[in-house]
Amino acid sequence: MTKAEYIKYPGCPPSPASSTGHRFRREATPLVQSFNPLTLQRRSTFTLPGQRQCASAFTLLELLIVIGIIALLMILIVPGFTTIKGAGDFTNAVYGIQGTLESARTYAKASHTYVFVGFAEVDSSVDRSVSPQVTTGPTPYGRVAVTVVASKDGTRHFQYATSNQGSDWQSNYEDSSKPEYHGRHLVAVGKLQVFENLDFIRWNFGSWTPAAHPNSKMARYQSTVPYTLSGDWSGLTPATPFCWPLGSPLNSGYQYRFDRVIYFDPTGIARAATSTNADAIAQVMEIDLQPTHGTLVPPDPSNHQDVGNQAVIQLGSTDGAVRVYRP
């Protein structure tokens, strides 16, 4: 092949043999006879015979083995990711509630009004769109709703009393001639928050003081009279229940009814009003929480508070400090 021919057909290298015309023509004859213009036009598909002989691919058995290994790894790894996600959701819920309490107190002081933070736990197996959400039955667990409402006129709309406290609130809530009718005296502060796979612990933690447990992350000072929106709340009659959405009656037509309520007065002091505690101020209040798997609730934590995956949100009633304790 001459130099001019090589330039025209770069896919065919020049012969390493002597450049004499007679010898070149004799050795190039087989190449010319097997010349294929399509092969030259698509250089990317051209391979030498030796290269074609070395080409190989996975066998069906090898592919099946690789797929089996990947499937086995997925079986082993996916539960781990699920656990990590669940732990993240629980942490987000705990600190989300902490932030809600802090924001509610700030709003009460800035707006010079009463602010009510409502908590409700319902059956997580029931679709969120169902009204009302189920709070009775064998498994009313696994979904916690939290919302914040404020008094429109700056008053608390009930009188302090040591007996039947809140009866005026509740009767006026159903009286169309009253400003409290179906919650018309309240205004929503922010959106309804719903946390899945979350449960109020129905077991009161005992004393766990820093003096007795100096190395414990759960060590904290607790009020002599417990105000816990968990275990001991079920036996108390709430004084200031309200429903969501606002405008719903207390006994029907609502999606959530909030019986567990912490309220802040215009000075920022927090209270949990029951039918008998008047204007009592606890030193601290607690919200004890644990994660669930749907409606499946873990056994009550042992009295060793450093064991388990629970969280305590503690609210200082007068100073407004909101602290989170976890093992």
Q: 14-27, pLDDT tens digit by residue? A: 555 444 444 444 44
Is 273 a member of any domain?
yes
Residues 19 and 115 in one domain: no
Q: What pLDDT, in 10s, does the model give residues 188-218? A: 999 999 999 999 987 777 788 899 999 999 9
Residues 37 and 116 in one domain: no
Residues 13 and 143 in one domain: no
Residues 34 and 169 in one domain: no
Is residue 118 within 8 A of residue 242, CB to CB? The reply is yes
The count of domains in the chain is 2
DSSP state of 165: T
Is 78 a member of any domain?
no
Residues 219 and 296 in one domain: yes
* Segments forming the whole domain that contains residue 40: 3-54
Residues 164 and 18 in one domain: no
Q: Which residue ranges in the chain fall short of pLDDT 70? A: 1-56, 78-87, 223-227, 230-235, 301-302
Mean per-residue pLDDT of the chain = 82
Burial class (CB in 10 A: 0-12, 13-18, 19+), 49: exposed
Q: What is the pTM of this model?
A: 0.75
Residues 231 and 280 in one domain: yes
Is 142 a member of any domain?
yes
Residues 287, 315: Cα–Cα separation, whole Å: 8
At which residue do the structure tokens 């005026």 appear?
A: 168
Residues 31 and 101 in one domain: no
Residues 141 and 278 in one domain: yes
At which residue do the structure tokens 């058995």 appear?
A: 61
